[in-house]
């Protein structure tokens, strides 16, 4: 049995960066996604660059400013030249994301990723937007640059790589869930899957997150869980091996 523990949102804020660093250094995270367009992206990379971690691009078209010229991507930005937020994009009745404009921004973020890290991402996926056009643009750019595209919601992708996402958890009125109970409930799925994937958003809170993100209390909670002795003992008890996307890149 194998499992990938992915941490998203490196670079979204300094507080989240410190939490992700702890979740890698003291915890069980095996993959981390960097948001190249964010102001704290370089700060986040500097924290984790010397750790043995699979580092991917967590492409972002719904928070902050684009890397490319806003005038060239009008379907993605508002009158201030900033990205439309995910809630607005996901609730539109039509998919308004222009594929070619999206590819332009994705490629610009890829170049920023390489500028920051000195290398290509070890996996490639997107943040918080559920648009078919967005997914197609990500897939197109990944193919063009020979990148490992991570799309666990796609059944064909799951079959190709034999990686299954675990069931989504339900958040309570505080935006929290019980990660210990969740893992116990998902044990049968982990046992039947060749490899399972769980996505987390560990981090510490700062003013940027409190103002711009719907994920607040969940971040330090998940950070504590990922660093817990309970999780380490639980994985060992059930003979579950932690792997990352580097195990699948050449398949």
Catalytic residues: 8
**Cα–Cα distance measured from residue 227 to residue 168, given in angstroms and rounded to the nearest whole number:** 21
DSSP state of 72: G
Residue 173 CB neighbours (<10 A):
5
DSSP state of 77: B
Asked if 220 and 204 touch (Cβ cutoff 8 Å), the reply is yes
Tell me the pLDDT tens digit for each residue of 139-148.
999 999 999 9
Average pLDDT over residues 215-242: 98
**Cα–Cα distance measured from residue 183 to residue 193, given in angstroms and rounded to the nearest whole number:** 14
Q: What is the average pLDDT score of the chain?
A: 97
Tell me the pLDDT tens digit for each residue of 18-76.
999 999 999 999 999 999 999 999 999 999 999 999 999 999 999 999 999 999 999 99
Tell me the pLDDT tens digit for each residue of 92-121.
999 999 999 999 999 999 999 999 999 999
What is the topology classification, in CATH, of domain 2-247? TIM Barrel (3.20.20)
Average pLDDT over residues 156-162: 95
DSSP alpha helix (H) spans, the chain: 14-25, 41-48, 86-90, 99-117, 132-144, 155-161, 179-192, 207-212, 218-226, 229-237
pLDDT at 249: 79
In the predicted model, is pLDDT for residue 251 greater than 50?
Answer: no
């Amino acid at each position: 049995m194998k499992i990938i523990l992915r941490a998203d949102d490196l670079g979204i804020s300094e507080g989240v960066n410190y939490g992700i660093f702890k979740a890698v250094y003291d915890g069980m995270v095996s993959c981390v996604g960097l948001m190249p367009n964010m102001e704290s992206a370089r700060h986040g990379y500097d924290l984790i660059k010397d750790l043995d971690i699979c580092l991917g691009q967590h492409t972002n078209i719904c928070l902050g400013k684009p890397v490319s010229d806003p005038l060239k991507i009008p379907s993605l930005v508002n009158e201030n030249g900033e990205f439309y937020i995910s809630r607005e994009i996901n609730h539109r009745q039509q998919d308004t994301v222009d594929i070619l404009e999206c590819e332009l921004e994705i490629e610009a973020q890829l170049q920023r990723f390489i500028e920051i890290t000195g290398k290509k991402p070890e996996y490639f996926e997107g943040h918080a937007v559920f648009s078919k056009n967005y997914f197609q643009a990500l897939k197109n750019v990944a193919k063009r640059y020979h990148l490992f595209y991570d799309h666990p919601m796609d059944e064909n992708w799951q079959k190709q790589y034999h990686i299954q996402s675990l069931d989504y958890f339900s958040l309570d009125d505080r935006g929290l869930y019980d990660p210990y109970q969740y893992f116990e409930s998902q044990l049968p799925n982990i046992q039947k899957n060749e490899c399972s994937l769980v996505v987390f958003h560990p981090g510490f809170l700062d003013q940027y997150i409190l103002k711009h993100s719907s994920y607040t209390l969940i971040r330090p909670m998940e950070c504590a869980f990922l660093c817990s002795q309970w999780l380490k003992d639980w994985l060992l008890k059930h003979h579950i091996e932690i792997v990352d996307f580097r195990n699948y890149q050449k398949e």
